[in-house]
Chains A and B, each alone.
Chain A
Amino acid sequence: MTRTLAVGCPRWPIVVADLPPDAPAAVFHANRVVSASPEAVACGVRKGMRRREAQSRVPEIEVLPYDPATDARAFEAVLGVVESFAPRVEIVRPGLCVLAARGPARYFGGEQPLRDRVAQAVDGAIARIRTHPLHIDDRTRTGIADGPFAATLAAVRGQVVPPLGSPAFLAPFGVDMLDKPYLADLFRRLGVRTLGELAALPRHRVVARFGIDGEIAHRLASGDDHRLLEPRPMPPELTVSRELDPPAKRVDVAAFAGKAAADELAAKLLELGLACATLEISVETEHGEERTRIWRYSSAFTPAAIAERVRWQLEGWINDSSRPTGGIGWLRLQPLDVGAATGTKVGFWNRRGEVSDRVRRSIARVQGLLGQHGAQQAILSGGRHPSEQTSLAAWGDPLEPQRAGLPGTKAVAGPVEVEMPPWPGRLPTPSPAIVHTDPLRTDVVDADGERVTVTGRFGVSSVPSRVRLHGRWNDVVGWAGPWPVDERWWDAKAHRRRARFQVALADGTAHLLTLESGDWKVEATYD
């Protein structure tokens, strides 16, 4: 078992934004909090919270866009420092990397001194890219354990797990720590709640039932994740090399070539029935400068995920102090581990087999311009709220409903067939053609101009007569409601109590309104 050092920068997207340490700020993606500053967290802002809710808790909160490319670019500074301790640093995501600890620990006089030295050096590197001091909670965390996953959790707690201690250290953590919500949900329903319980199951059984994601989850849970997949002799033809002629002078051009190389690698893997979760990406300029990075992924790499990492690596290099002097002339992708693609999910992207090369190239071009999430595909999913009833995934990533789906239907999750929950209380059809990403504020009054409210037992205080939209009052010609939505009453944090109304207005428009804690909002429009 390999001793592994994990280096984690908490709240990396916030750290990159370079705000004063006490500023309330949060990074949002698709209207939800991805990361929040210590000050915002202290005021009750949580990961996954909607933007409106975060803003109602902290009105002066700084809203930052989610931009993984910027985060990856800034992380180059950290990687440069970590690499000075030992080569072959593996990047898990911008903000987190792992490396073998044995060699440098011997050199620096033990694992504890190594931990402290790395943390100090990385804090120094971060201080150089920031103008403001770092919040004390955002200081770099380091941890050492057997295997990268255990080391990462050890870093969160700032400790060194003794050799052979990883399984015992991991056992009490919940299955949510795997960061695979869909699988964690299934595990919980099967009564497997902790990593220890998962690790206690025979691996071949887990693989047989949940496929490749199950294998990765089992390896993580048992601390046996030096490689996420069964290491096996690497077929030499699996390396994809590409010469760029003429050399690419712009990142988007090089990233476009990266996308093509990623597709080629994915096709090769698929043909051999293999999947890969650790990948080495090398790029070289026309002048012979080279940069190699090792990327780990939380499951089998998809073409989109590979292409995204090629792009991050290129952008990071170009903005680095040791930036290349010429165009990118050559790039190489080499899998470092491969496993048999046992599950049904691998090759799932091939579902759209009839995609023409023309369409594929055009989407690659769009993703080159906007990033992987610029072009997405949708799939129907379960849920009560109109925005919950579909899931989006970057083109090239496997599509999976976020919440189990439609009433009466059955879905296949791995080899398991699951009966779908009915989602009582969802809206009647037709569904609204516009679901506002940021619900609009509005007001509803009765014939006397008094604001309409809802009683504790979901009765209306008076008859809605006019609705204010875009600053103008509109007469109500038809209305229905209130429809109570009392979700997750068992969970104090996620509990939401709302009343919904449909209104048809005199100008022919119709809307879905919600009333929550006294505020009227237009949630969706039947345009």
Chain B
Amino acid sequence: MGTDRVSALLAEAPGLGRACDLDAPRLAVLEAFEQLLPDGGLRPGTSTQVCGVGATTLALSLVARASQGSWVAVVGMPSVGLRATAELGVDLDHLVVIGDPGKRWTDVVAAVVDAFDVVLARPQLPGREARKLAGRIRERDAVFITVGAWPDSDVRIDGSAARWDGIERGHGHLAARRLDVAVGGRRSAARVQRATLWLPDADGEVRLAEPDNVPDNVIALR
């Protein structure tokens, strides 16, 4: 019996597939997320929901490293700022935008999770149907990330308490943002990790911030 057959059998048995691929390859993430994510990266076959303030930027920066070589599909987010997407390090050459799937949302997501390494989507489904699709995503080796709540997500990321730097009353401009991020979820992610991120800092980088400590490279415009 070949290895493929074994893994196919394991995949059919619920729960077993998970246990066997502890060392399965993960898609790389920016350093800032390595310590926050339960597996130190994005694990194929899992779903992650990103909610709260800054969810769009969080989700885009989450896939930035992976897009350098892996294919990313963005589904149902027609207003995503593509200039910002590129600034956050997402490789546009590996990005396919499916802006308005309309009523075919489920079919489109089902089609892209079959082939894409990473799928970024805004959920547009009633809960029951979403659960059916969640099962399929688990079977495939795609990383599924939603901007907005998704039932049965393995990892949950929440952004809150955004503080902007560089903008004052009547001068300056939005230059850098600190955001409190909480990462929780099921199984290995059950313990909630908290951190403050620069999203982005004044150089456009996403990195961990020292809580309440303004680094030198941010010019206080006072």
Contact = CB atoms under 8 A, between A and B. Distances in A.
Interface in B73-122: 78-87, 92-93, 95-102, 104, 107-108, 111-112, 114-116
A431 B115 contact: no
Contacts of A478: 164, 167-169, 172, 174
A508 B97 contact: no
Interface stretch (A73-81, A195-203, A236-244, A364-372): A364-372
A431 B79 CA distance: 13
B79 A436 contact: yes
A366 B116 CA distance: 12
A380 B200 CA distance: 20
Contact of A504 (B80, B83, B174): B174
Interface in A343-366: 351-352, 355-356, 358-359, 361-363, 365-366
Interface string A474-511: 00011110000000000000000000001010011110
A504 B166 CA distance: 10
Contacts of A10: none
Interface in A398-437: 428-437
Contacts of B99: 376
Interface stretch (B19-27, B34-42, B55-63, B210-218): B55-63
Interface stretch (A125-133, A166-174, A387-395): A387-395
Contacts of B136: none
Interface of B: 53-57, 60, 71, 78-87, 92-93, 95-102, 104, 107-108, 111-112, 114-116, 160-164, 167-175, 177, 179, 200, 204
A237 B84 CA distance: 46
Contacts of B86: 380, 390
Contact of A369 (B107, B161, B162): B107
B84 A430 contact: yes
Contacts of A355: 71
A355 B72 CA distance: 12
In this complex, the member of A431, A480, A508 whose beta carbon has the largest number of chain B beta carbons within 10 angstroms is A508
Contact of B96 (A363, A433, A463, A510): A363
B81 A395 contact: no
Contacts of A510: 162, 164, 167, 174, 177
A163 interface: no
A386 interface: yes
A428 B173 contact: yes
Contacts of A479: 167, 169-170
Contacts of B84: 430-433
**Which of A377, A433, A479, A502 is the most central at the interface, judged by chain B CB atoms within 10 Å of its CB?**
A433
Contacts of B97: 375-378, 392
A430 B199 CA distance: 10
Given A379-B92, A392-B97, A480 B79 contact: no
A353 to B, nearest CB: 11
Contacts of A429: 87, 204
B46 to A, nearest CB: 19
B122 to A, nearest CB: 11
A428 B168 contact: no
Given A370-B98, A378-B97, A434-B80, A508 B163 contact: yes
A524 interface: yes
A362 B115 contact: yes
B102 A480 contact: no
A526 interface: yes
Contacts of A504: 164, 167, 174
A389 B81 CA distance: 9
Contacts of A380: 82-83, 86, 92
Contacts of B163: 508
B111 to A, nearest CB: 4
A386 B173 contact: no
Contact of B83 (A358, A374, A389, A508): A389
A369 B105 CA distance: 10
Given A376-B99, A433-B84, A359 B170 contact: no
Contacts of B169: 463, 478-479
A448 interface: no
A527 interface: yes
A430 B56 contact: no
Interface string A432-470: 111111000000000000000000000010010000000
A286 B96 CA distance: 36
A365 B112 CA distance: 9
A386 B96 CA distance: 19
Interface in A2-53: none
Contacts of A370: 98, 100-102, 104, 108
Contact of B53 (A352, A377, A389, A509): A509
Contact of B162 (A392, A430, A509): A509
Contacts of A351: 93
A219 B50 CA distance: 54
B7 to A, nearest CB: 18
Nearest to A465: B169
A433 B104 contact: no
B70 to A, nearest CB: 10
Given A359-B116, A428-B174, A524-B81, 4 more contacts: A359-B115, A433-B85, A434-B56, A509-B53
Contacts of A432: 81, 84
Contacts of B60: 433
Contacts of A363: 96, 115
A504 B169 CA distance: 10
A376 B78 contact: no
A433 B160 contact: no
A431 B98 contact: no
Contacts of B102: 370
A433 B80 contact: yes
A526 B86 CA distance: 14
A392 B83 CA distance: 12
B126 to A, nearest CB: 20
A244 to B, nearest CB: 20
A463 B169 CA distance: 8
B95 to A, nearest CB: 6
A386 B81 CA distance: 7
A365 B115 CA distance: 11
Contacts of A527: 53-57
Contact of A502 (B83, B87, B93, B167): B167
